[in-house]
Structure 1
Amino acid sequence: MDLTLNTLENTEYMIEEIKKKLRMASGAALKASKLNDDQYDDLRDIYDMVAGKMQFSISEIEAITKELGRLRKA
């Protein structure tokens, strides 16, 4: 999978992987169709950071969740 391409499939994949890694219960708030296309690189940065870590503190999870919320369409 080439995550350098801004596609709905890639966006969905990264969101699902972030939710799995963070064990997010409220995944309904994160849907690929709700994210701004022009912020794909920001989502990829979050994905890369999450994928590279094994554990997260509560404050890190809160910060990541807040940042993902910022990427949602108004």
Structure 2
Amino acid sequence: MADTGGLEPVATFCGNCNCGCPQLFVDPNAPADRRIVLTDDFGQRVQMSADQFSSLVDDAKNGRLDGVALP
């Protein structure tokens, strides 16, 4: 599991189990280009800027990510 000390939790994806679900955090102490943190259930993390995350959210809202996770 990734160390999440000092991170401000925003959202947990799944949350219906005790398996270390992916989570979204804000790291207030990180440089602006690495402030948004997404952890997975394997202990890995992706860090990005708020602008990059906002772009991802906009794409999701506009349907550009629909079907991405389909087999």
Identify the TM-score tier after normalising by the shorter chain. Answer: 0.3 to 0.5
By percentage of residues, which structure has more helix?
Answer: 1
Structure whose alpha-carbon radius of gyration is higher: 2
Q: So what's the TM-score if we normalise by structure 1? A: 0.34
By percentage of residues, which structure has more strand?
Answer: 2
